[in-house]
Chain A
Amino acid sequence: MNPRSLPVLRAVALMVIGVVLQTTVIGRITIFGVTANIVVVFSILAARWLEPRAALLLGFTSGMFLDLLGDTPVGLKALVLTVVVYSATRLGGSSIPLRSVAGVWPLSILAEVLLFVLVVLSGGGKLLQAAVVQQAAVGPVLNLALALLLFPVMSRLVVQQKSEPLV
């Protein structure tokens, strides 16, 4: 097996676990009426170690599964996670730690804002309005706390894969 594909497989396995945990365990735990999103956290942290395209595909796929298992239109969360992962891969540099734990907070806010805009565009905005401020304020903080817990685990499992360019 190509040693470069091993971290990707581990990241895929983590993402499947993330989707299952989100729908069975994390979704039940509400703090101030808001739940954390482990899949968003996984996607942002994975962008730190994986190739950008692999990270994008992983974010897109996990968002798609969340759409399929939930009630949002198929593609909505996939789009949100694609944008979030792209921001994490492109905006992060050595001086701006957007790819690391600290980046989870602003990127989670981006995810909440984007989710709200897309839900409004798809006709379900009325229901989100009531809790949008609460969600945007508390959600990213919960994600940040989750990232602090997951960072050591992910850094062990998804070893640094980035190396020299393909060409």
Chain B
Amino acid sequence: MARRNRRSNPTYTFIALVLISFVMMSFDINRSTEDGIGSRFRAGAAALFGPIQQAVDTVTDPIFGFVDSIASLATLRQQNDFLVQTNEELELRIADAARLEAENEQLRLLLDLEVDTSIEVGTEIADVIAFIDNVITIDKGLTDGVVVGNPVLNQAKAPIGIVTQATDNQATVTLLTHMTDAIRITTPEGVLGLITGSGRTDQLAFEVNQEAAMIPAGTFFTTAGGRFPRNLVIGHTDIDLVPEGDQITGFIIPEADFTRSLNFVVVLLYTENLDAEDEVASTPSTTIVTTVPTTEGG
């Protein structure tokens, strides 16, 4: 009877569950992203909950879309003014770039060079079916060509994250705001820097570990190869980023609005090219035009 009492004591159950949790955490913290027992369990949970999440998402998506559009009315005017101003600035820069491109073409012809500077990147449009812990779950997986490491953009083609787990029919995307791995970015002047998540939805941590001049407020940062294809606008600074010694640290404002819920995302079927990374590191001024086709449906 005493033994039965002991077995029914919740403290023993509690201690056993705590020990199990610690053991599982220890195994999973050292997990690799694609194999290991944790990943198998995750795939199982995704298979179990995925269809239910998808069904609920189908019902709630239009409701959230409607509520979001009403709630956003007040800020839309302000955003519109900002976008008009940004558009004018970008048009000027495009005109400038077109002049440089023509000049570049002429110089290439003179030097008789044939350089293919475009990278074709396939895309997959995916529906966002779950949000948890600053990661999102999308309804496209390995069978659709989505693999770990694929960059992900929002509706406006601004980078939002990287695929960190993929099962047959689903994938998990870790958002830029909570990424610990650095992403290589550059300024229009060719200053190379790195960004990581800051833990906040309105800023990304930024650092330059080379001697560089001050980066003025209003500077836009673009991806510089590696995890993301080059030349995607990733954010801008609204303050002057001043060097301290041999480095510049600070925060930049992400181009993507992480405070609003996402209905669908665009997955670039592109993975990090380590050879290209070396090339980028040695020749920071190299320009590769990345073409993102938009015709493919999800």
Contacts and interface: CB of A to CB of B under 8 A. Distances in A.
Given A23-B132, A89-B10, A73 B25 contact: yes
Contacts of B11: 90
A7 interface: no
Contacts of B174: 71
Contacts of B8: 53, 165-167
B276 interface: no
Interface stretch (A105-113, A121-129, A138-146, A154-162): A121-129
A65 B174 CA distance: 18
Interface string A5-42: 00000000000000111111101101001000000000
Nearest to B42: A68
A63 to B, nearest CB: 8
Contacts of B164: 71
Interface of B is mostly: helix
Interface stretch (B52-60, B90-98, B221-229): B52-60
Nearest to A132: B199
B180 interface: yes
Interface in A92-149: 118, 122-124, 126-131
A129 B178 CA distance: 11
B56 A25 contact: yes
A60 B21 contact: yes
B137 A79 contact: no
Contact of A82 (B17, B31, B53): B17
A27 B27 CA distance: 27
A42 B8 CA distance: 23
A118 B178 CA distance: 17
Given A65-B49, A69-B49, A127 B17 contact: no
Question: Which of B27, B132, B197 has the most chain A CB within a 10 Å cutoff?
Answer: B132
B49 A19 contact: yes
Nearest to B201: A33
Contact of A75 (B1, B23, B44): B23
A24 B45 contact: no
Contacts of B66: none
A167 B1 contact: yes
A82 B197 contact: no
B180 to A, nearest CB: 7
Interface in B1-51: 1, 4-5, 8, 10-11, 13-14, 17-18, 20-25, 27-29, 31, 38, 41-42, 44-46, 49
Contact of B28 (A65, A75, A118): A75
Nearest to A23: B130
Contacts of A150: none
A124 B28 CA distance: 14
A73 B1 CA distance: 39
A78 B4 CA distance: 26
Contacts of A124: 180
Contacts of A30: 259
A127 B64 CA distance: 27
A79 B174 CA distance: 23
Interface string B176-220: 001010000000000000000111110000000000000000000
13 contacts: A20-B53, A21-B56, A60-B17, A60-B21, A71-B134, A71-B164, A71-B174, A73-B38, A78-B20, A90-B11, A126-B199, A129-B199, A131-B199
Interface of A: 19-25, 27-28, 30, 33, 52-53, 56-57, 60, 65-66, 68-76, 78-79, 82-83, 86, 89-90, 118, 122-124, 126-131, 165-167
| 4 A-B pairs closest in CB distance | A75-B24, A130-B199, A27-B131, A68-B45
